[in-house]
Amino acid sequence: MTISNSGAIAGISLGIGGEKDMKQFSSVELESEIQPDSAYGCKETESHEAKTPPAPTYDEESVHKTILVGDSGVGKTSLLVQFDQGKFIPGSFSATVGIGFTNKVVTVDDVKVKLQIWDTAGQERFRSVTHAYYRDAHALLLLYDITSRSSFDNIRAWLTEIHEYAQSDVVIMLLGNKADMSSGRAIRRDEGERLAREYSVPFMETSAMTGVNVELAFTAVAKELKHRAVQHPNEPKFQIHEYIEAQKEKSGCCSSF
Ligand SMILES: Nc1nc2c(ncn2[C@@H]2O[C@H](COP(=O)(O)OP(=O)(O)OP(=O)(O)O)[C@@H](O)[C@H]2O)c(=O)[nH]1
Ligand SMILES: [Mg+2]
């Protein structure tokens, strides 16, 4: 499984040097970067003899809009920087202002899946701006901070907003970030698991600092989106929960949390 970068971070506050204004990335400019809504389009192959229709081919030009949401300070920007650049920038916290995106290409099952990952501002005052972006999102990564009870308690409110503004078939994943901070832990892993079960969404704990599960979170989303795009009615559905559990076991990632 390989991951390659197809674009620079656009307007994302990196957590140093105070607030960074992202007004220059207006929605109009950003929309022009997005490919036509072909994410779920399939190329048809003609076949007159086959009894069952041929499997649709995945269109590698599809762009899947993926949005990071959650309270301010949970680590959305840090998670994206870790995934994009493989690094963690410690230091004083600088809240994201507005919204920006990063393009990433994730190779799954030998096909290239393009993710356009939007980093939103968690602060309340930017909420109306980010709502506008939910509508055409294909996936939402919802983060809380395992050292912050309030960020966990607010997850229900976030899910209510998501259900109100996003498409009903949007892929949602719950992430408990800052899993490296075991001494400050306020939310047990099983609390996260229980909440995720209640809403039937996949869950994992991540650390933007150490990188644990960061790649897995985005890869699982890319796999799910790719499978949905080529889903054959007679084939079993891709099981994102099972995939995540299997990958977690393989990496032995979570035993120390
Ligand atoms: N130890 C640890 N610190 C983290 C982790 N992720 C983020 N942080 C720190 O938490 C603070 C907030 O991180 P950000 O990534 O800026 O948070 P955010 O969710 O983007 O916040 P907003 O932009 O305001 O919505 C920063 O000081 C980060 O260095 C993590 O996984 N582990
Ligand atoms: Mg941020």
Give the pLDDT confidence of 182-226 residue by residue, as tens digits.
999 999 999 999 999 999 999 999 999 999 999 999 999 999 999
Question: Is residue 55 one of the residues assigned to a domain?
Answer: no
| 142, 159 contact by CB (below 8 A) | yes
Predicted confidence at residue 230, as pLDDT, reads 82
Position 242 confidence tier, pLDDT thresholds 50, 70, 90 = confident
Question: Is residue 56 one of the residues assigned to a domain?
Answer: no
Same domain, 154 and 237: yes
Question: Is residue 256 one of the residues assigned to a domain?
Answer: no
Predicted confidence at residue 48, as pLDDT, reads 54
Give the domain range for residue 205: 63-251
Predicted confidence at residue 92, as pLDDT, reads 82
- Three-state DSSP state, 79: helix
CA of 140 to the centre of ligand 2 (A): 15
Predicted confidence at residue 231, as pLDDT, reads 74
Enumerate residues lining ligand 1, CB below 6 A: 15, 72-78, 90, 93, 95-96, 121-123, 177-178, 180-181, 207-209
Same domain, 20 and 105: no
Ligand 1 atom showing the smallest separation from residue 89 Cα: 29
Phi, psi for 162 (deg, rounded to 5): -60, -45
Looking at the chain, the whole-number percentage of residues with pLDDT higher than 70 is 74
Q: How many CB atoms lie within 10 A of CB 131?
A: 15
Kindly list the protein residues that place their beta carbon closer than 5 angstroms to ligand 2, a single-atom ion: 76-77, 96
Question: Is residue 58 one of the residues assigned to a domain?
Answer: no
The mean predicted confidence, pLDDT, of the chain is: 81
CA of 29 to the centre of ligand 2 (A): 21
Same domain, 222 and 148: yes
Same domain, 159 and 215: yes
Nearest to 78 by CA among 8, 179, 86: 86
Instruction: For a ligand 1 pocket test, name from 71, 77, 215, 257 the mutation site with the most ligand atoms within 8 angstroms of its C-beta.
Output: 77
Predicted confidence at residue 26, as pLDDT, reads 35
Give the chain's domain count.
2
Longest dimension (CA), the chain: 64
Same domain, 169 and 44: no
Position 168 confidence tier, pLDDT thresholds 50, 70, 90 = very high
Nearest to 73 by CA among 95, 101, 97: 95
- Three-state DSSP state, 240: helix
Same domain, 168 and 74: yes
Highest mean pLDDT among 9-18, 33-42, 155-164: 155-164
Same domain, 89 and 9: no
What is the domain-level CATH number for residue 161? Answer: 3.40.50.300
Lowest mean pLDDT among 42-56, 91-105, 241-255: 42-56
Question: Is residue 161 one of the residues assigned to a domain?
Answer: yes
Distances (CA, A) of 138 to 114, 128, 169, 252: 12, 19, 8, 29
- Which residue owns the Cα nearest ligand 1 atom 32? 178
Tokens at 45, concatenated: 């192959």
| Tens of pLDDT, residues 101-154 | 999 999 998 999 999 999 999 999 998 888 889 999 999 999 999 999 999 999
Tokens at 213, concatenated: 């599960």
| 82, 214 contact by CB (below 8 A) | yes
Question: E-strand spans in 2-138?
Answer: 3-5, 63-70, 99-108, 111-120
Nearest to 34 by CA among 86, 97, 103: 103
| 10, 25 contact by CB (below 8 A) | yes
